[in-house]
Structure 1
Amino acid sequence: MSLLTDPLVQRMLLVALLVGLAAPIVGTYLVQRRMALLGDGIGHVALAGVAAGWLAGSWAGFAERDALAIPGAIVFAIAAAAVIERMRSHGTTGADVVMAILFYGGIAAGVLLIGAAGGTNANLLGYLFGSISTVTWTDVWMTVILAVVILTVGLGLRQALFAVTHDQEFAFSIGLPVRFLNMVVAVLAAVTITVAMRVVGVLLVSALMILPVAIAQLITRSFARTMWLAMGIGAALCLTGVSITLEHNLQPGALIVVLGVALFLLVSVVTSLLRRRSRRTTSRTEVAP
């Protein structure tokens, strides 16, 4: 209990809870659209935004050079999401090549710019794999604001966003603003990535968005139930991962993802065995005299 009175631990657990709840909301829409790796790509570009924020903070003479890191990541991530969505919706020829250049160019630019801004390898690794132990109350408030935006939009527009992600032609036929809603999903993905960056880093953020959804889909088929269950799983994974790292010297982001993968495998095996047992029971019932 003494650990819970530590302000740093309180900040870590609060950020972990918010990220765990918010990330699977957008992940549910991305899985429905078969765009599970979109978060990974935008995360690469967000790193360039982090580095640009570092550079701007250094030039502006801020005491904390990373003061503009998150705002920079938000701007770059939203811009990348908008470009990707526009190319996807217009069926741009060679869009996959353009996106690959955008993704890998983003991470390369991020590495170079952080170095130019006076950052170290430790700073870089913190953004690549997460560094929740360094969160400040400013980071917490930024996370709270962005998480509230994700929760409000992602849950408040759930029916409209589901219609667009499930069947765009149907959504268009009933008068929904399909292009606008598609852009909303893309922007939500960008904001989610900047929120989750502190916990799991840009290289693992897609896993935090997708793994809870993948686990939930093994248990339930309903879109709404999948989203709510994924939020619970995401929060549990983040809180468990951070709690374990308070006692052991492990990297929180990597541990959270490993726990997620292990849970996915466990649930896969259990549900597979239960289905097999159910089929056998049904088969025996049918052949019984």
Structure 2
Amino acid sequence: MIALSRLIDRFEDATVRDLAWLLFAPDLLRADEAGAALAQPFASDAERDATLAWLHTLDGAPDPLHVRSRNPKSTRLGIYAESLLEFFLAHGPAARLIAANVPLRRQRRTIGECDFLLQTAGGARQHWELAVKFYLHIGDGALRAARLSDYVGPNLQDRFDLKHARLLTHQLGLTSRVEFAALGLDGPWDAQLFIKGRLFYHDDAVPPAPEVGERHLRGFWLTASEWGERNDAIDDARAWVVQPRMAWLASRRLHADDAESLMAEAAGIHAGLRAIAQPTMVASYVRDDAGGWTEESRGFIVPDDWPERARAFAAAAL
């Protein structure tokens, strides 16, 4: 299997890279532990190859994708991801989009929305629910095995076990409700999870929770004090950048001038991250053999009091 980085690095446009990441990144959940079927963007190797060719063409003329997905007024990563997947289903060479964001109402009150309704080349009708999540693992791997509740959102407003339960008990059941049947969208519909993202670990040796996909994307997290002690944060062969929220999906490239500027400002960036008030994603870039700069790793720097608050949030599941 081709590594994700090799698939992504063939594309120059950042938005095309994000779409490729969404389609090819490994699932966050294991197929046999997910509690529901996991959506597969491609029904065959031929569809996969056709999609890569389509992305290559789109990379040369990405304006239609930009018009659909780029909204300077929006900073909601989930909405951005939805727009990317909708564009693929509407214009790509694989499954055919029937409808997106289909609202279900009862007595004029919206009770939910079906993310995507589509039909495969073989005629199967599928209902996909999309989730793109970034969680930090807060459990103590030395004392017990990891649980989904140990994975918490950086702002402590979300937790993997809560999101997983919501997907299974509410969102995937929408196409089975009488309110959906009243819409006249002929089925039957096979409800599936489309769940991507990255999980961040304080100790990279900690085994993941049993529900977590074996190939899931990983990152690190450090407290601000721990970050201050890192010697490689200021390095003449590495550039660090604060990763804006809308750039959390695919890896990025740095132009040489941008990397040199970041290296010149390394001391200021390093000091600023030691005084952060909220979790902040960072990425490190290193020189590659071709003289360019490629992303090496991603992680979160969190305030020193964050781990204690995060453990309390995770413990609320017990």
TM bucket (normalised to shorter chain) is under 0.3
| Higher-RCO chain (CA-CA 8 Å, sequence separation at least 6) | 1
Alignment TM-score, normalising by the size of structure 2: 0.26
- Structure (1/2) with the larger strand percentage: 2
